[in-house]
Amino acid sequence: MFKFVEATKDDLTLLSNLRRKVWDETYRGIYYDSLIDDYDYEYNMAKDLKRINNKDYKVFIFYLDNTPIGYGYFGIEDKIIYRDLNVYIAGLYVIKKHKHYGIGKKFFNEVIDFCKKRNINKFYNCCNLHNYPAQGFYEHMGGYIGRVDFYGADKRNHQIFYEYTIKN
């Protein structure tokens, strides 16, 4: 049985370990190997703590039975970094062998509920231009490309901005 659990500060190590695992599966061959191999656990735990402590952010850990299989977070950004949209899916990752079971769709429903409660009708996310499986998922979820950034040779800087409009 899949379940979503809202993360607390007690989950920081778990979140950081999950991130390292899914980054290895997702970004190996896209990001420089050293970025994954030298993953900075403390830095990422500090970022997660800020999100967890932010009342305008939701951080979830996804479980299959009692086994953590992924995580996702979204919320209202302190500053608008993309057009006039400020609700941002900052991360959605599921361990590869647990994909295609509706976890991403359930996560999107959480985002949509969050927006509706605040009378917000649009949100966005970024996706690496070289992460083709994620692009397919975001387009399947109704995302349309609003912008593509392609800065330099570092593939981390090649990003697609997907926008979503919530239908009533």
Query: Between 3.90.1150.10, 3.40.50.920, 3.30.565.10, 3.40.630.30, what CATH number should domain 2-165 receive?
Result: 3.40.630.30
pLDDT of residue 168: 72
Burial letters 72-85, b for 16+ CB under 10 A, else e: bbbbbbeeeeeeeb
Q: Give the predicted TM-score (pTM) of the model.
A: 0.91
Bridge partners of 160, per DSSP, are 127, 148
pLDDT of residue 80: 65
Cα separation, 91 vs 47, whole angstroms: 12
Tens digits of pLDDT across the chain (168 residues)? 889 999 999 999 999 999 999 999 999 999 999 989 999 999 999 999 999 999 999 999 999 999 999 999 999 977 667 777 789 999 999 999 999 889 999 999 999 999 999 999 999 999 999 999 999 999 999 999 999 998 888 898 899 999 999 987
On the 0-12 / 13-18 / 19+ scale of CB atoms within 10 A, 59 is: buried
pLDDT of residue 78: 72
User: How far is the CA of 153 from the CAs of 21, 80, 156, in angstroms?
Assistant: 25, 26, 9
pLDDT of residue 107: 97
